[in-house]
Amino acid sequence: MWGVTIILATHWTRIPSWVGTTLLIGAAALMFGLALGARWAYRVALAIDIAGGVALIVAGATIAEADASAFVMLLAIFPFGLSAMVWTLRAAYFPTPRHDGGEIGPR
């Protein structure tokens, strides 16, 4: 999803191609970090998804046409749903200390 967004954004705007390439490499690193379960990757993904949802709500509020505005604001459900999923999955696998004073284990 992030890669497609980067490709479309660089195509529709006048961003230099090296910026798009750098962002695609960053998206690939983020996906690799998520696959490995890195804590930093979950935090970055959560921030990107929340920012995308807020951007869609702002875009929907500023569009003059009522039908298009409602559709764009409806699209905000997707990144907020991803944020909820990332938060829930991370909370399910976040290590917590055991009560017996032993090692850290999953919930």
Q: Is residue 100 part of a domain?
A: no
- The answer to whether residues 83 and 53 belong to one domain is yes
Q: How far is CA 65 from each of CA 21, 57, 77, rounded to the nearest angstrom?
A: 34, 14, 20
pLDDT at 98 over 70: no
Average pLDDT of the chain, as a whole number: 75
Burial (0-12, 13-18, 19+ Cβ within 10 Å), 33: middle
Cα 47 from Cα 103, distance rounded (Å): 30
Q: Is residue 55 part of a domain?
A: yes
Vertex 30, ends 26 and 32: CA angle to 5°?
Answer: 115
Q: What is the pLDDT of residues 34-47, one digit of tens each?
A: 788 787 888 888 88
Q: Mean pLDDT lowest for which of 20-24, 75-79, 100-104?
A: 100-104
Q: Which comes out higher in pLDDT, residue 105 or 80?
A: 80
- The answer to whether residues 23 and 43 belong to one domain is no
Q: Is residue 7 part of a domain?
A: yes
Q: What is the pLDDT of residues 56-85, one digit of tens each?
A: 777 777 776 777 777 777 777 877 887 788
Stated pTM of the model: 0.59
The domain tally of the chain equals 2
Domain that holds residue 13: 1-36
